[in-house]
A and B are shown apart, each in its own frame.
Chain A
């Protein structure tokens, strides 16, 4: 693949159309017709395949994100307060029925 072709394809109107819908495609939010359209284009377009892979890898990394380590454990008196609030809410709910 030459550099010229690579850059050219990313600005190709057909690529741009696909490019705009890649997230919905990955999320399974497109209808059959739109999916077919994207898949037909991608079958003949290496730069789009590559781009889709990169995007998918990013999304999967976000889904697996563990981040900031652990949130400090809830203080026991706070947990007690939460339990009480929950119990009171359940009582109110029962009385309302």
Chain B
């Protein structure tokens, strides 16, 4: 899906705004305000910063709206501006390189495997729905624990739904780097969330 967000509502609203259609204004503002607020809060950890970054970004977006060349790239364009305001909120760069995870340390540990067996043997496997609700309730905490290097990519790709090429544009990195950080970020999230959900709920262990 190289162009996953090309047909998203934001793209449609951006097109209409470029044509002067005022009915697209409120939905565009509300959607991006919420997205930027959420992204900034999870990146910077401060509610006040998140509110301010959302407003500053939208003002910058509209002040330079005549420079939006390609409405299908509107998400990348807006998030790039948001990322820069987000950076200014921090003395230390939130996008500074963290220690990188190796694939090996993201493998399921022996503890997890042992628990898997135990749970699988007990025969009391939770329903898929219950599992998902449990995961969702701990996701925010797990995201916050993720090193920023990975968090920014997981937020843009999975939470905000940007494509690989859009995320690469926002973060000024190559697409291969987006893919690698996304994979390691997801694996780290999985590992962290495995604390809350018994593993061994796949068909494999039934």
Query: Which A residues form the contact surface with B (CB < 8 A)?
Result: 1-3, 6-7, 10-11, 16, 19-20, 22-24, 27-29, 46-47, 49-51, 53-55, 57-65, 67-68, 70-72, 74, 78-79, 81-83, 85-86, 88-90, 92-93, 96
Q: In the bound complex, do residue A63 and residue B1 qualify as a contact, i.e. CB atoms below 8 Å apart?
A: no
Mask, B61-80, CB within 8 Å of A = 1, is 01111100000000000000
Instruction: Please tell me if B174 contacts chain A, counting CB pairs below 8 Å.
Output: no
> How far is the CB of B25 from the nearest CB of chain A, in Å?
7
CB-CB under 8 A from A1, the residues of chain B are: 117, 120, 204-205
A68 in contact with B41 given A50-B199, A51-B108, A90-B65 (CB within 8 Å): yes
* Chain B residues at the A interface, C-beta cutoff of 8 Å: 1, 17-18, 20, 25, 29, 33-34, 37-38, 41-42, 47, 50-51, 54-55, 58-59, 62-66, 103, 107-108, 110, 113-114, 116-117, 120, 131-132, 135-136, 139-140, 143, 154, 158-159, 161, 164, 179, 182-183, 186-187, 189-190, 193-194, 199-205
Which of A63, A88, A92 has a CB less than 8 Å from the CB of B158? Answer: A63
Main secondary structure of the interface of A (DSSP, over half): helix
Q: Name the one of B66, B154, B204 contacting A89, with C-beta atoms under 8 angstroms.
A: B66
Do the beta carbons of A59 and B158 come within 8 Å of each other? yes
**Chain B residue with the shortest CB-CB distance to A60:** B132
Docked-complex contact A86 and B113, CB < 8 angstroms? no
- A-side contacts of B193, CB under 8 Å: 58, 61
CB-based closest 9 A-B pairs:
A46-B204, A50-B202, A71-B37, A62-B158, A89-B65, A85-B62, A23-B183, A93-B66, A89-B66
* Least CB distance, A74 to chain B, in whole angstroms: 6
CB distance A83 to B63 under 8 Å?
no
> Which of A10, A61, A63 lies in contact with B161, CB distance below 8 A?
A63
